[in-house]
Amino acid sequence: MERSLVILKPDAIQRRLIGSILARFEAKGLKIVALRLCRLTNQQTDNLYSVHKGKKFFEPLVRFMQSGPVAVMALEGPRAVAVTRKLLGETFGFEASPGTIRGDFGLSRGYNLVHGSDSVESATRELAVFFKEADYLAYELSEAPWAFNPAEDLN
């Protein structure tokens, strides 16, 4: 099973969209294996967005991400990174398709509600910023056999 990091950004928290967004991931069949409400530290934002250091949007992004609480989570499931990215939609809400999280709830360029890992490699690096292996809760969902056929090819 694959894991992906998702962060509900300060705008999602302030707009009280936590439940609505979490419901999308759960309805799709992804399992929440770690979840924390927190404020991001300088070290966390530097590690998370290190690939963007030096770009003109880096400092405003860091300020925004530290402007209020965020919900940080690890989602687990088959193809979790790709599935999560599709559920999120295009980066800017006004470009995102209806039916996606950003398409249904977002309108802004800068306030795009959610961060999601863009690759398995990024997910591994990003998850380590927030969680230790002991933070992940292992459990079985009773509906799991009905959400995904394990005999299917995962490649």
| Residue-range domains of the chain with CATH | 2-132 (3.30.70.141)
Q: What is the pLDDT of residue 145?
A: 80
Q: 52 catalytic, yes or no?
A: no
Catalytic-role residue among 3, 30, 115, 131: 115
HEC string of the chain equals: CEEEEEEECHHHHHCCCHHHHHHHHHHHCCEEEEEEEECCCHHHHHHHCHHHCCCCCHHHHHHHHCCCCEEEEEEEECCHHHHHHHHHCCCCCCCCCCCCHHHHHCCCCCCCCEEECCCHHHHHHHHHHHCCHHHCCCCCCCCHHHHCCCCCCCC
Q: Give 111-131 pLDDT, tens digit per residue.
A: 999 999 999 999 999 999 999
pTM for this model (two decimals): 0.92
| Average pLDDT over every residue of 38-51 | 94
Q: What is the pLDDT of residue 153?
A: 62
Q: What is the pLDDT of residue 138?
A: 94
Q: What is the pLDDT of residue 147?
A: 82
| Average pLDDT over every residue of 68-74 | 98
Is the pLDDT higher at 78 or at 145?
78
